[in-house]
Amino acid sequence: MNPVEYSELGSLLRRNIFGTVCTLLCLVLGAGLWVLRLDIHSLEIVNRERSQEGAAMDSTLVTGPLIKTELARAQDIVQRIEGNLVVDKNLADNLWYFYKIHPDSKDILTNLRGLNADAASDDSDYKLVPFSLQLTGTYEQVAGYLLQLETGPRLMFIRSFSFRRTSPRSPVLTLNLEVKVLARR
């Protein structure tokens, strides 16, 4: 463009000042709209991420008291289990437990002895302590004792058992049990 064309363009713009201002305003507003549209797209992405974080936080806040209750319950259960573990070295208390769990224990528990414990790994805090029991009594007495043994506070499992009658017509049964009790090392 030469200087004559510039002067003609300038005079055209001065004659149509309203059109010139409107055109410049449209160009400026169009550029601003384009910048805002790009910014809105990035803000939508940030908004979506924050909404997902808020939903996760909301579910955490809703289940927070439930989680705290479950944790307290689990800690209580662990404390009760820890409190009912036998101590391997305390043989007298371990044997006395089998006598005190049922009212007829002294009458029907005819033989009780501790057995040699299996070698356990050194990295464990717990071990299994075996005992051998022989019960002699009526079915109700023996079944009652066995129920108390299974539902008592000490964690144990029955390794082997055998039932037999002392004589064919007698109501008296003999139950031989081998149990393992969970103990603290």
Radius of gyration over every alpha carbon of the chain, rounded to an integer in angstroms: 43
- 74 and 43 in a single domain? The answer is yes
- 75 and 90 in a single domain? The answer is no
- 74 and 104 in a single domain? The answer is no
Among the candidates 16, 45, 80, a domain finishes at 80
DSSP 5-65: HHHHHHHHHHHTHHHHHHHHHHHHHHHHHHHHHHHHHHHHHHHHHHHHHHHHHHHHHHHHH
Q: Give the mean model confidence (pLDDT) for residues 59-74.
A: 82
Task: Give residue-wise pLDDT tens across range 107-132.
Answer: 888 888 888 777 666 677 788 888 89
Q: What pLDDT is stored for residue 177 in this prediction?
A: 92
- 130 and 172 in a single domain? The answer is yes
Nearest residue to 137 via CA among 129, 146, 128: 146
Q: What pLDDT is stored for residue 119 in this prediction?
A: 67
- 113 and 168 in a single domain? The answer is yes
Among the candidates 46, 80, 114, a domain finishes at 80
Cβ pair 180, 117 in contact under 8 A: no
Domain that holds residue 158: 86-184
The structure's pTM equals 0.57
Mean pLDDT of the chain: 83
* Predicted confidence band of residue 94 (pLDDT cuts 50, 70, 90): confident
- 137 and 75 in a single domain? The answer is no
- 71 and 134 in a single domain? The answer is no
- 65 and 99 in a single domain? The answer is no
- 75 and 91 in a single domain? The answer is no
Q: What pLDDT is stored for residue 122 in this prediction?
A: 66
Structure tokens at 171: 């109501």
Among the candidates 25, 55, 80, a domain finishes at 80
- In CATH, what number is assigned to the domain containing residue 128? 3.30.70.60
- 71 and 97 in a single domain? The answer is no
- 70 and 92 in a single domain? The answer is no
Cβ pair 31, 24 in contact under 8 A: no
Task: Give residue-wise pLDDT tens across range 166-183.
Answer: 888 888 899 999 998 888
- 21 and 110 in a single domain? The answer is no
Q: Which residues contact 142 (CB under 8 A, 6 or more apart)?
A: 108, 135, 136, 173, 175
Give ∠ CA 80-155-130 in degrees, rounded to 5: 140
Higher local confidence (pLDDT), 31 or 91:
31
Q: Which of 66-75, 109-118, 144-153 has the lowest mean pLDDT?
A: 109-118
Structure tokens at 115: 């057995």
* Predicted confidence band of residue 1 (pLDDT cuts 50, 70, 90): low
Q: Which of 36-50, 78-92, 133-147 has the lowest mean pLDDT?
A: 78-92
